[in-house]
């Protein structure tokens, strides 16, 4: 990397590109959104401080997931009083398996994004609204003039449609579903 500004820009691009995958690997072990955000912030800081040691930008996501693994363990030690925590061996196994599946997950996310774009606008906006942070299904149902059960049924149909679309794309590209 030629300059500090180029290095900063490259880091931001890579972190932005892979944040979803890094966050998903954290979420596989830590359930509370606030805790996931806290660990993700710690991962970002550590990755930023150590970015000059990266020699293979193609391996950035895997490298960041290794950092996430250690930050999760550090976070868990700090929260050791919580009885619902996973043991460190299981955390390591989940993170390692997640890192091995990065390319598959990346392709699936790309397929899902393509399928979302194919949905009629009203359905796409509904999906985006319902799955946005802090969203209440009851509030969305009320806004739409539907019962929560009716909204759940509509979302079930949309999710099945998206699942079929993703599977078709994966099959078309020769991936195993």
Per DSSP, 101 falls in state T
Question: Same domain for 96 and 167?
Answer: no
Rounded to a whole number of angstroms, the CA Rg of the chain reads 19
Collect all residues with Cβ–Cβ distance below 8 Å to 24 and sequence separation of at least 6. Answer: 98, 105
Please report whether residue 114 resides in a domain. Answer: no
**Residue at 31 is within a domain:** yes
Say if residue 11 is in the same domain as residue 96. Answer: yes
Does residue 23 sit in the same domain as residue 82? yes
Rounded Cα distance between 163 and 169, Å, is 10
Q: Is residue 30 part of a domain?
A: yes
Q: How much is the pLDDT for 82? A: 57
Does 89 lie in the same domain as 18?
yes
What lies within 8 Å, CB to CB, of 119 at 6+ separation is 127, 158, 161, 162
Residues 6+ apart with CB under 8 A from 102: 21, 61, 62, 65
> What's the pLDDT at 48?
95
Residue 111 within any structural domain of the chain: no
Residue 36, domain member (yes or no): yes
| Whole-number pLDDT of residue 60 | 93
Same domain, 84 and 129: no
What's this model's pTM, rounded to 2 decimal places?
0.51
Alpha helices (H) in the chain, listed in sequence order: 4-27, 33-50, 60-78, 88-100, 102-118, 121-130, 137-144, 148-172
Q: Does 53 fall in a domain?
A: yes
In a domain, 105, yes or no: no
Kindly report each contact of residues 73-79 with a partner whose C-beta sits within 8 Å and lies 24 or more positions away, as own/partner: 74/42, 75/30, 75/35, 75/38, 75/39, 75/42, 79/35
Q: Give the number of domains in the chain.
A: 2
Domain boundary among 100, 131, 148: 100
Q: Averaged in consecutive runs of 10 residues, what is the pLDDT profile of the chain (177 residues)?
A: 74 92 90 92 95 89 92 86 66 77 82 92 90 82 89 92 92 67
- Return d(Cα 40, Cα 71) in angstroms, integer: 9
Q: Determine the structural domain holding residue 124 and report its residue range.
A: 119-172
Of 73, 100, 127, which closes a domain?
A: 100
CATH number, domain of 60, equals 1.10.1740
**Is 123 a domain residue?**
yes
pLDDT of residue 19: 92
Q: What is the CA angle 82-18-39, rounded to 5?
A: 20
């Amino acid at each position: 990397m030629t300059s500090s500004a180029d290095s900063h820009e490259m880091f931001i691009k890579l972190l932005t590109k892979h944040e979803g995958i890094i966050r998903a690997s954290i979420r596989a072990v830590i359930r509370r959104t606030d805790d996931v955000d806290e660990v993700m912030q710690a991962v970002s800081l550590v990755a930023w401080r150590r970015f000059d040691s990266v020699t293979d930008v193609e391996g950035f996501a895997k490298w960041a997931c290794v950092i996430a693994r250690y930050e999760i363990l550090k976070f868990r030690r700090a929260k050791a009083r919580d009885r619902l925590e996973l043991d460190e061996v299981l955390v390591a196994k989940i993170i390692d398996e997640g890192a091995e599946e990065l390319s598959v997950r990346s392709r699936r996310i790309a397929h899902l994004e393509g399928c979302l774009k194919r949905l009629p606008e009203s359905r796409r906006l509904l999906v985006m609204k319902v799955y946005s942070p802090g969203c209440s299904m009851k509030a969305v149902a009320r806004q739409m003039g539907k019962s929560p059960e009716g909204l759940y049924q509509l979302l079930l149909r949309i999710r099945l449609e998206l699942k079929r679309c993703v599977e078709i794309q994966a099959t078309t590209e020769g991936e195993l579903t």
